Amino acid sequence: MNEWNNEIVVEIFPAMWQGFIVVLQVTLVAGLIAVLLGLLVAVGLRIGPPWLRRVLSAVFQFIRNTPLLVQVLFVWTATSYYINPEWSAFAVGSAVLGVHYASYTMESYRAGIEAIPVGQWEAATALSLPTHRVWGAIVLPQMLRRSAAAVANWIIAMFKEVPTLFVIGVLEMIAQAQKYQGQHYDGAVEGYTIAGILFLAASYPVAVAARRLENRLAKSNF
């Protein structure tokens, strides 16, 4: 009974695929948050007033140093009780995941900013360039190229963490596999294998692309 069964694979696949689509949707929403919020925070840490820098730094330090699972459960429970119980698990879960990974991407952006030679900052000051020109024309274009590969890797890592959201009822792939198992007492090996293959099929091409990008940027002189 516990041997590999192709019929189960056929039976379970539509549900797994449905779960996979949910994973991709979460990744899209949370990924946008992680990419944009991380950038905002990285810039804020560079040019914001001292009090803002201290607050941002403390908040994101805290987020980075507590487990994602705890954050998901805490925010879900807190929003249910005190803010708005109508918010969906998908929305709350995606937001928490995105903010959590923003705390990592901001570090990659920061590294990109700090890699810009001090001479360029001095030159910008000497020329009295306005702040928006300094960032828009000089810092961001270089920094984004330097950070792109690292940020892409964080997004892949985040993609693989989506099943964490099952604890608040987001029916992703692992939930679908467990549903089948619970109702049929079978299909554990098949379900988890399909989940693994789908994750690999989606993340491997992105990982290869990120590596290529990294190599190309390393060769170009900027």
Partner 1 sequence: MSNRMHLNRRHLLGGATAGAAAFALAACSRTDQGDGSGNGLLEQAQDGGKLRIAYANEAPYAYTADDESVTGQSVAVQLYLLDKLGIKADQIEWKLTEWESLISGLGTNHDMVIAGMYVTSERCDAVAFANPDYIMPDALMVQAGNPGGWTTLNAMAETDGVIGVMNGTSEQEVADAIFDAERINVQADLSGLILELKSGRCDAIGLTSANLRLAAEADPEVEVTEGFWLVDPESGEDMIGAGAAVFQPADTGFRDAVNEELEKLLADTPTWEGLVSEYGFTVEENHPEGLTAEDLCPDTYQ
Report in angstroms how near the CB of residue 176 gets to partner 1 at its nearest.
9
Tokens 């990924």 correspond to: 31
State which residue, 121 or 185, has the beta carbon closest to partner 1. 185
- Quickly count: other Cβ atoms within 10 Å of residue 113's Cβ: 18
Q: Pick from 179, 171, 175: which is nearest to 89 by CA?
A: 171
Is the CB of 31 or the CB of 187 nearer to partner 1? 187
Quick one: which H or E segment has residue 48? Answer: none
CB 186 to partner 1: min, Å: 5
Residues near partner 1, by CB under 8 A = 1-2, 77, 80-81, 85-86, 166-169, 171, 175, 178-186
Least distance between partner 1 and beta carbon 94 (Å): 17
- Rank residues 41 and 168 by Cβ distance to partner 1 and give the closer one: 168
Distance of CA 14 to the CA centre of its chain: 26
Measured CA to CA, the distance from residue 123 to residue 42 in angstroms comes to: 22
CA–CA separation, 173 vs 160, rounded Å?
11
Rounded to a whole number of angstroms, the minimum distance from the CB of residue 160 to partner 1 is: 19
User: Whose Cβ is closer to partner 1: residue 145's or residue 179's?
Assistant: 179
Minimum gap (Å) between residue 178 Cβ and partner 1: 5
| Count of helices and strands (H, E) across the chain | 9, 0
Instruction: Annotate 172-203 with b (16+ C-beta within 10 A) or e (fewer).
Output: bbbbbbebbbeeeebbebbbbebbeebbeebb
Shortest CB 17 distance to partner 1, Å: 16
- Two tokens, residue 63: 């987020």
Kindly tell me which of 149 and 177 has the beta carbon lying closer to partner 1. Answer: 177
Which of 23/175 has CB closer to partner 1? 175
∠ Cα 163 167 173 (to 5°): 30
